[in-house]
């Protein structure tokens, strides 16, 4: 009989689990750059990212840039994401862009449920679930965003808020599709404010998110990449990414500068 395995310290085990997950740094350009500026930005990212092999890089430009940018990243390791997709498959929905159209343009990821969409465009969990399902049906991995606002954090309700956001959407996808989902935890009070969650705050809630996911999907939650977003920059990325349940970042402002974006990616 051999009891040695029971006395192994915890850190090596965590390390092994961590290796099962993909580290990701994704740039959410939001409504910034012209096509010309976007192509220049992505060309710089392609050039400067050549030696990066430990992290998956994703860029999420505006819809109008997708064709030009997909041409620029062909043959590279960089992947393309949209910032949104329609909640309907096709038809008379003026102004919308469907998941099928995006898949046709080589889009592999879609940011869904960003707090700016939830707040300014009143996207409910019901709408977000439709978007997530359509993305998955078209072979696109959702980067599903969750996060509390300042009031909710101050009232210590952040755990309940993210749990509800996850339950209402992620728990309703097919178990076999779950592994294609990436979660981005973005506290609203940290987005574009210069205020960042501390590495400890990020770890605490990322671990909680994983616990919530494992309650429904069991061991599969160990391979879910959970990204942090909110004023992430070269100066704070290393500390945040060093935490065991932080598997990368969803970067806003700093992703518009190739040097900063690459410096963040090199923080792993």
- What residues act catalytically? 114, 186
Which residues does 67 contact at the CB level (< 8 Å), separation at least 6? Answer: 105
Strands 79-82 and 248-251: unpaired
CA gap 240, 227 in Å, rounded: 10
* Tokens at 95, concatenated: 């102004």
Nearer to ligand 13P, 186 or 247 (CB): 186
Which conformational region is residue 113 in: left (phi greater than 0), alpha (psi within -120 to 50 degrees), or beta? left
Strand partners, 143: 111, 182
- Pick from 60, 64, 103, 52: which is nearest to 82 by CA? 60
- Using DSSP, state whether 193 is helix, strand or coil: coil
Rg (CA), the chain: 18
State which residue has the least CB distance to ligand 13P. 252
Nearer to ligand 13P, 78 or 254 (CB): 254
Nearer to ligand 13P, 142 or 229 (CB): 229
Whether the Cβ atoms of residue 76 and residue 66 lie closer than 8 Å to each other: no
> Least CB distance from residue 121 to ligand 13P, whole Å?
14
DSSP class of 83:
S
Nearer to ligand 13P, 41 or 191 (CB): 191
> Least CB distance from residue 163 to ligand 13P, whole Å?
21
Kind and range of the H or E element at 248? strand 248-251
Buried-exposed string 131-163: b where 16+ CB fall within 10 A, e elsewhere? bbbbbbebebbbbbbbbbbeebbeeeebbebbb
Nearer to ligand 13P, 248 or 252 (CB): 252
Contact residues: ligand 13P, CB under 6 A: 28, 114, 186, 191-192, 229-232, 250-254
> Least CB distance from residue 233 to ligand 13P, whole Å?
7
> Least CB distance from residue 172 to ligand 13P, whole Å?
23
* Tokens at 224, concatenated: 């879910």
> Least CB distance from residue 136 to ligand 13P, whole Å?
20
Backbone angles phi, psi at 183, to 5 degrees: -105, 140
- Using DSSP, state whether 158 is helix, strand or coil: helix
> Least CB distance from residue 186 to ligand 13P, whole Å?
5
Nearer to ligand 13P, 240 or 251 (CB): 251
């Amino acid at each position: 009989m051999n009891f040695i395995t029971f006395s192994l310290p915890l850190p090596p085990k965590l390390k092994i689990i961590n290796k099962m997950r993909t580290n990701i740094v994704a740039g959410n350009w939001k409504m910034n750059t012209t096509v010309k500026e976007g192509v220049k930005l992505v060309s710089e990212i392609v050039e400067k990212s050549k030696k990066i092999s430990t992290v998956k890089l994703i860029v999420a430009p505006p819809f109008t840039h997708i064709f030009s940018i997909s041409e620029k990243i062909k043959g590279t390791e960089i992947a393309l994401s949209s910032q949104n997709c329609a909640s309907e498959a096709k038809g008379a929905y003026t102004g919308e862009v469907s998941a099928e159209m995006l898949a046709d343009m080589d889009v592999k990821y879609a940011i869904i449920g960003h707090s700016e969409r939830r707040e300014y465009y009143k996207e409910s969990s019901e709408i977000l679930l439709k978007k997530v399902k359509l993305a998955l049906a078209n072979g696109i991995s959702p980067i599903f965003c969750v996060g509390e606002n300042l009031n909710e954090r101050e009232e210590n309700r952040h755990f309940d808020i993210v749990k509800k956001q996850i339950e209402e959407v992620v728990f309703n996808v097919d178990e076999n599709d779950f592994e294609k989902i990436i979660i981005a935890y973005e506290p609203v009070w940290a987005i574009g404010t210069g205020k960042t969650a501390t590495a400890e705050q990020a770890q605490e809630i990322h671990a909680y998110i994983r616990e919530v996911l494992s309650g429904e999907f069991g061991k599969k939650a160990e391979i879910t990449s959970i990204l942090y977003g909110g004023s992430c920059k070269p100066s704070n990325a290393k500390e945040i990414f060093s935490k065991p349940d932080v598997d990368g970042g969803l970067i806003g402002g700093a992703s518009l500068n190739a040097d900063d974006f690459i410096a963040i990616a090199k923080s792993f």
